[in-house]
Amino acid sequence: MSILVIVEHDNQAVNVATLNTVAAAKEIGGDLHLLVAGENCGSVASAAAALDGAGKVLCADSAEYGHNLAENLAPLVSGIAGDYSWIARLQRDVDNSATLQEQMELAHEAHKRLRETFMSEAERILLTDRGMMSALSDRGIGGIKEPGRIRCFHTWYAAHMVEANCIGLAVDQLMASAEDFEWRLG
């Protein structure tokens, strides 16, 4: 699986934080793709391409990206993230499947019921008195309020380890089928 690193820079030079991120990504393994977004950032893209381990470099050179504002960069990143993220790939499947949406809703409801069994009466009273009980009753796995959204694998998988759910099963399948998946211990 390819890894996408968003290159931090000042439109002239690559930021040292990116160098650390690239080094970490190299340790994970896989194809390393770098995204350079900025204004007149061609020299940064060239420098990024020369980094050890760099594979493909994507360059978005536009005044729109010149100040590295999140509201400008977010649509760009989300537009290409699906090519790099298991979460984005699975979310597309969920968005197109009423069955998966229903399974996720059922998993959230089961999680809320199970969570209730672990709370003492004193905890329930404390949360109710502080107006916080509704946050628990409105949110499912990982505090997710929208039942059709994956958000992050770790919370789904932690819940899956207690009681199986469709996203945890999908993660099991992804890990088992990924050609380049390999546990790297110690």
Per the rule left: phi > 0, alpha: psi between -120 and 50, beta: everything else, 7 is: beta
CB distance 38 to 58 below 8 Å = no
Let me know whether 92 and 164 are in one domain.
yes
Give domain status of residue 186, yes or no.
Answer: no
In a domain, 182, yes or no: no
- The rounded Cα 79 to chain-centroid distance in angstroms is 14
- Among 24, 50, 84, the domain boundary falls at 84
Average pLDDT for 42-61: 95
**Cβ contact 5:80 at 8 Å:** no
- In this predicted structure, what is the pLDDT of residue 179? 61
Same-domain status, 62 and 8: yes
Q: How sure is the predictor about 126, in pLDDT bands with cuts at 50, 70 and 90?
A: very high
Distance CA 98, CA 76 (A): 28
Strand, coil or helix: 156: helix
Model confidence pLDDT, tens digit, residues 73-103: 988 988 887 677 778 778 888 999 999 999 9
Q: Are residues 126 and 74 in the same domain?
A: no
Which amino acid is it at 48? A
What would the two tokens of residue 164 be?
Answer: 């199986």
pLDDT band at 186 (very low <50, low <70, confident <90, very high): very low
Task: Answer yes or no: is 115 within a domain.
Answer: yes
On whether residue 127 sits in a domain, the answer given is yes
Q: Which domain holds residue 164?
A: 88-177
pTM for the complete prediction? Answer: 0.57
